[in-house]
Amino acid sequence: MVAGYLVLPANIRDHEVRAHIAVAEDQEDAYEIAQSLLKHILGIVKPEAVVRIRLNCPPRQASLREVAATFGYVASQSESNDLQKIAAKWRLTEKNWATSRETLMTIGKIVLPDTPPVFRHVDQQLPILRPDGQRVLVPIFQLESLLAPMLLCLQGREGVMVPIRKEYEEHLLEDSPQDSLLPHGKAQLAPFRHYLSDKKTLKNFSRGDLIFFYETVKNKGAGAVIAVGRVLRAYLRDEEGMQTSDLAPSILDSSRLSSIGVSKTKTITVFDNMLRLSKPVPLQELKNMRCGEAHQLITSQRLSSEQVQAILEKGL
């Protein structure tokens, strides 16, 4: 039985991907199949690239459309069965704003403000000119979701840094451009993933934070910040009450929960829009930023907007 199909060009031409896609809706794992196919499409988009994606799918593809919405796809205004999105694999900063704005305008026909705004909160509305010529106000959070995995790394935006072991990050933060349709763990299928930590860390996570991942030196780890994403939400869950929906988007199972603290209650942080930094930010640089001492790196820590900008300056 065919679980699903994806037909797409071997190479991206003119910054556009046109694909045909469908899943067998009667399959028990139709949701995961849809995630795998959609993730594969994003996998062929190179870092720092902006691409228009248009998907043609048959009618009555409820699971596919539901999953596609979590990846930032919207219905096409011209073709009833088509889904479309713009994928921007970059981090917008004050320094690259002008060139990024020009690229997005040329390829995606979306026009950002002339100058980068100062970040006040994640639901702050930005004036955007849409491809249809309409000027609309779009919250930062929604804009990042629609152009995922893009992040607006604006002045004033705070963050959080979390430790992760090398053997875990290779799976949880997997973002290889050499993607394949071979089986993935469920943590690698969804557009969002889960980071588990001690219950005391809950206070360090806020919706819309930039979340930086510090790979520890244990087991020949890098001892550097290697990736950044966006916090969607964080919540507490008792080990006994852990559901598949809590653990599947992480790389842990119930037998390994004790490795992240003795407390029977864990903090689960949901994050998305994760991309690796082009230049890992090493320990000495973090010390210079006053966020690289040993006692700071063993747990999650808040980052000021100045520290966030300093890490991005070194890592992008």
Residue limits of CATH 3.40.630 in the chain = 4-88
Domain spanning 159-315, CATH architecture: Roll (2.30)
Mean pLDDT of all residues in 224-249: 91
Higher pLDDT, residue 235 or 132: 235
Residues 124 and 113: beta-carbon distance below 8 Å: no
Fold of 4-88: Aminopeptidase (3.40.630)
Q: Are 255 and 296 in contact (CB under 8 A)?
A: no
**Ranges of CATH 2.30.130.30 domains, the chain:** 159-315
Per the confidence metrics, is the pTM higher than 0.95?
no
- State the distance between the two ends of the chain, measured CA to CA, in whole angstroms: 45
Does the pLDDT of residue 184 top 60, yes or no? no
Q: What is the pLDDT of residue 11?
A: 83
Q: How far apart are CA 222 and CA 45, in angstroms?
A: 26
* Statement: residue 185 has pLDDT above 60: no
| pLDDT score recorded for residue 175 | 56
Whether the Cβ atoms of residue 74 and residue 38 lie closer than 8 Å to each other: no
pLDDT confidence tier of residue 179, bands split at 50, 70 and 90: very low
114-141: average pLDDT: 96
Q: How confident is the model at residue 170 (pLDDT cuts 50, 70, 90)?
A: confident
Please give the average per-residue pLDDT across 120-136, as a whole number: 95
- Kindly state the percentage of the chain with pLDDT values over 90: 75
Query: CB–CB of 122/207 below 8 Å?
Result: yes
**Which of the pair, 183 or 119, is modelled with greater confidence?**
119
Q: What is the mean pLDDT of residues 206-213?
A: 98
pLDDT tens-digit profile of 263-283? Answer: 889 999 999 999 999 999 999
Q: Is the pLDDT of residue 181 over 50?
A: no
pLDDT tens figures, 12-68: 888 999 999 999 999 889 999 999 999 999 999 999 999 999 999 999 999 999 999
Tell me which residue has tokens 């045909």.
Answer: 20
Please tell me the distance from the alpha carbon of residue 213 to that of residue 184, in angstroms, as a whole number.
Answer: 21
